[in-house]
Amino acid sequence: MTPDLAARAAKLIRLLASDVDGEALGAARALQRMLVAVGSDLNELASAVEGMGNGADHADHVVFRRAKIYLIIGGDRLTPVERGRLDWLTRHRAGEKELKWLDKIERKLMGARR
pLDDT confidence of residue 3: 61
CA distance 85 to 59: 18
CA distance 95 to 86: 13
Q: Are 78 and 69 in contact (CB under 8 A)?
A: no
Confidence class of residue 114 from pLDDT cuts 50, 70 and 90?
very low
**pTM of the predicted protein model:** 0.48
Q: Is the pLDDT of residue 8 over 70?
A: yes
pLDDT confidence of residue 52: 59
pLDDT tens-place string over residues 35-89: 888 878 888 877 777 665 555 455 666 777 778 777 777 777 888 998 888 888 8
pLDDT confidence of residue 40: 80
